[in-house]
Structure 1
């Protein structure tokens, strides 16, 4: 049914469009405080559906075929952001099983490091033994932690607040959380340089995602350009090959990046850049603001239908 619907779309104005799926990591088992991240079983059926019902292409190849007017119907690309080690350890075997390509946008400064700052918030809040978290001394509020839903809500508030803090203030908040929790971070959540090389050897394209994953609009122009350019240079030195694709951290136009940063990405020598806007890629779009998003659906049919709806929609609205 999904194939038939996709072929009908391909004969309409939806012809020549690409849907790009965006993940961060794959979990060994479901995690109550990471409800949006698929576990291996979920990721497996998602990849099986893509292999059976869609044409999954390497990202750069898909763009080239679109430009040439030879893009197959139901074209989909798979991407991962940040650079979690689970992409190598858990996602890669599934991708190999179904012979699917993917692109990993790596935050180069976190290679071999313990955790991203947002994961430190999750781990600290998860480890707090009290039923309330009082952060009024930092100009925030007092938050209830009586159950999983309340802890999840608290994590959401703190993560959204921390995204737009200067790095020094974000670090101070996270350190206070960790001290309150007595948290000892578990090492090994991020890709190592050797894992990145292994992904590359196995046909997974590596893209850049800045050095430290800042919100670009919160930085001065010189620092933002350095984050963009240095991430490309560091990954190219690691792989000894060009890195041509870039993804904006957080990826919301006007809020997380703007026209200045689009020009910085062009200047750095990338061939294309990706946002987190919902919709399909069309030939007419700015090659440095291409959409991609994450299907949240929990069943195969709705997951596939979501992708077809993006193709029908076209560019982000």
Structure 2
């Protein structure tokens, strides 16, 4: 049923449509505290389902075929953001075993032992060992850490409270969380440069994701451009090949990046850029603002229906825009 309906909603040829899935991490085992990421078993299940129903393409090929209006029916691509080490250790073997290509967008400033600010917060809360965490010093109150659920709530509140602060202030605030928690934090959460090279040798694509993962909409145009160029140039030097794909940090249009940022990406000669706006891409999509979506459901039927709903909802949005 899923495959038949997907054929209708995502046909081949000039009316082709591309579903791009987004992931960040695939953990070896389920994490009770930060449980938004699939574990290895769940990820493998989802990739098997996707492969059964959809024609999974490397993203660069999918973009080229989208441009040329020759996508296969039920076209899809898989992508990962940030550059976590578990992409290499856990996700890559599964993708290789199942023959599923993927693109990994890397925030290059955190390779080789770096840690993103959000992971400083997450790991501080997870490893704190105290009953409460007093963050009144950065205006975020005091939080109960007595259970995994309480830790999850704390993580959400703190991340939301820091996300849109200026980059320097945000980093300092995250370090304050770590100091208050008083615990040792990991330095191996992100890939090494050699692991990125190994990903590419394994046939996966590597894309740019800025150097330090800032909210581009909060930067001046010159600084935003430097972040993008630094990431692209680092990867091109590392891989000794052109890097033509980009992912916006956080990725919500208007809130996380501006129209002028998309034009910057275009002017830099990228083939395509991906967002986190839900939907599917078609021949009328701006290649510098391609939508992405991932079902979060744990059963085969619900996962498939969510993919179909994304296709259907996007068709309805397009019809409403045309009618308007």
Distance 2:11 2:267 in 1: 37
Q: Deviations over 1:118-150 (max 9, x none)?
A: 111011111223332222222222222232222
1:196 aligns with 2:196: yes
Distance of 2:266 and 2:48 partners within structure 1: 36
Alignment-derived partner of residue 170 in structure 1: 170
- Against the structure 1 CA distance between its residues 316 and 200, is the aligned structure 2 distance closer, same or farther, given a 3 Å change threshold? farther
| Paired residue secondary structure (2:19) | strand
Q: Distance in 2 between matches of 1:8 and 1:232?
A: 38
Q: Deviations over 1:152-198 (max 9, x none)?
A: 11111111222212222222222222122222122221111111111
- Which residue of 2 is the match for residue 180 of structure 1? 180
Q: For the residues of structure 1 that align with 2:36 and 2:155, how far apart are their CA atoms?
A: 13
CA contact (8 A) 1:207 1:243 kept: yes
CA change 1:140–1:67 in 2 (3 A) is: same
Name the counterpart of 1:88: 88
CA RMSD of aligned residues (A): 1.9
Shift of 1:9: 2.4
Aligned-partner SS, 2:206: strand
SS for the counterpart of 1:291 is coil
Partners of 1:124 and 1:178 within 8 A in 2: yes
What's 1:27 paired with?
27
Counterpart Cα distance in 2 of 1:176 and 1:110:
19
Distance 1:83 1:311, change over 3 A: same
Moved more, 179-188 or 84-93: 179-188
Q: Normalising by the residue count of structure 2, what TM-score does the alignment of the two structures yield?
A: 0.93
Q: How many residues align?
A: 317
Q: Which residue of 1 aligns with 2:252?
A: 252
Q: TM-score, normalised by structure 1?
A: 0.95
| 1:261 paired residue number | 261
Cα distance change, pair 144–85 in 1 and its aligned pair in 2 (3 A): same
Are residue 56 (structure 1) and residue 56 (structure 2) matched?
A: yes
1:82: Cα distance to partner?
0.1
Following superposition, the deviation at residue 315 of structure 1 comes to 6.8
Moved segments of 4+, more than 6 Å: none
Match of 1:136 in 2: 136
Which runs of 5 or more structure 2 residues have no equivalent in the other structure?
318-324
Counterparts in 2 of 1:11 and 1:196: CA distance versus 1, 3 Å:
closer
Worse overlay, 216-225 or 191-200? 216-225
Task: Output the CA distance in 2 between the equivalents of 1:161 and 1:254.
Answer: 19
Shift of 1:21: 0.4
Task: Indicate the residue corresponding to 2:321 in structure 1.
Answer: none
Number of the residue aligned with 1:106: 106
Give me the whole-angstrom Cα distance separating, in 2, the residues matched to 1:23 and 1:9.
Answer: 23
Q: Deviations over 1:13-59 (max 9, x none)?
A: 99400100000011000002222100000001111112222100011
- Structure 1 contact 280–291 (Cα < 8 Å) conserved: yes
Secondary structure of the structure 2 residue equivalent to 1:314: helix
Q: Distance between the aligned counterparts of 1:202 and 1:13, measured in 2?
A: 30
